[in-house]
Amino acid sequence: MATLALEGIRKSFGPVEVLHGIDLDVADGEMIVMVGASGCGKSTLLRLVAGLEVPTEGRILIGGRDVTALEPAERDIAMVFQNYALYPHMTVFGNMAYGLKIRGLPRAEIARRVQEAADLLGIGALLDRRPRQLSGGQRQRVAMGRAIVREPKLFLFDEPLSNLDAKLRVQMRAEIRRLQRRLGVTSLFVTHDQTEAMTLGDRLVVMNAGRAAQVATPMQVWSRPADVFVAGFIGSPAMNFLDATLTHGGTAATLRAGPVLPFADGRRAGPEGMGLVLGIRPEHVLAAAPGEAGEWEAAVTVVVELAEPLGSETVLHGRLPDGEELTARLPAAEVPALGGAAQVSLALRLPAAALHVFEASGGRRLDPVA
């Protein structure tokens, strides 16, 4: 159990820099989820912490000790791989015991630890099996067990759930969380799945193109995304983005589609006419009859292109008059019968309180002036 600190980590493969300076402080016992699209550098970052790659620049400290130059085995960490990387020719016991054997632990101690971990994971009866005789979920548990028996300072998870089917993934997700809480081991978890990220992490590191776009709790990331990328990445269906300009002395935005939206939370600093991107989540868009918009709302009309009924809710994909796309997630009862006819127009309301304001250039979140 230990803290983890990354200081100015850069990594290049040949001429290509894939990590452009990452700083991160992880508290003892914390579960950090690194999430991002493929190629964003999240796996590379994990491998740097594991010692499987060497950073081009920067330091890695585990429990305050600089481990940047140490071999993986000397870092006192354990890792669960995406494909589990079990030794196919060893039994479950052999797989879990291998690292302990190499460290020269006494036999009895190895047997005790393996048995304990196996019982914890519910694979105590499988110790004599070989990996190929196990199901995907069981292999996953063995891979976890191999990490647990080591009693490391740090757990590293490299998309460990992505090879499981959907149902098992949900189950293992909860189990990993429980286990991590119970053992209290500081953990880094890499995934491309936002649901996994939201449910597992104490804090998220949202990675974009080799940078940490935002480091925050899941709710902060969702409610106050740091930039357009984070806003679009977290949440499903993805947040709507509408082009706008700063008007009315910084107190409102005028949509390219026409309507004016006042800022509910305060004035934004910036020159009149500055380019903005307004974000609004589909679930915050409301249905309304035309012309009924209140003071803190903007009324828009969309041409519906596709309606996806999900049962209690319906997801509408439509287009504003200026051609911008807008997705709304409405209670099924509020959606009028659209029939098969194309080009149905529908009035919607955009509540100002649900608005996220970003700079058009750079995409940073633009907070109200204090």
Q: Using CB under 8 A as the criterion, which residues of the chain lie in contact with other proteins when the complex forms?
A: 50-52, 71-73, 77-79, 81-89, 98-99, 102-103, 131-132, 139, 146
For other proteins, the closer of residues 132 and 182 by Cβ is: 132
Shortest Cβ distance from residue 214 to other proteins (Å)?
29
Looking up tokens 């508290």 gives 27
Q: Which is nearer to other proteins, 79 or 348 (CB)?
A: 79
218: part of which helix (H) or strand (E)? helix 218-223
Among 84, 93, 51, 92, smallest CA distance to 70 is for 51
By beta-carbon proximity to other proteins, the closer residue of 71 and 165 is: 71
| Buried b / exposed e along 147-160 (16+ C-beta atoms within 10 A) | bbbbebbbbbbbbb
Contacts of 128 (CB under 8 A, 6+ apart): 91, 92, 93
Beta-bridged to residue 247, according to DSSP, are: 252
CA distances for 309 relative to 240, 314, 331, 361, angstroms: 19, 4, 10, 36
How far apart are alpha carbons 42 and 71 in whole angstroms?
A: 20
Smaller CB distance to other proteins: residue 81 or 296? 81
Q: Is the backbone of residue 343 left (phi > 0), alpha (psi -120 to 50) or beta?
A: left
Q: In terms of Cα–Cα distance, which of 249, 245, 276 is closest to 260? A: 245
Closest among 273, 280, 303, 298 to 288, alpha carbons compared: 298
- Least Å distance, CB 168 to other proteins, is 16
Q: Give whichever of 146 and 192 is closer to other proteins, judged by the CB atom.
A: 146
- For other proteins, give the closer residue by CB, 102 or 370: 102
Q: Which is nearer to other proteins, 86 or 277 (CB)?
A: 86
Query: Smallest distance, Å, CB 16 to other proteins?
Result: 15
Q: Give the nearer residue to other proteins in terms of CB position, either 163 or 199.
A: 163
- Residue 303 neighbours by CB under 8 Å, 6+ apart: 318, 319, 343, 344, 345, 346
Q: How far is the CB of 135 from other proteins (least distance, A)?
A: 12
The CB-of-43 to other proteins minimum distance in angstroms stands at 11
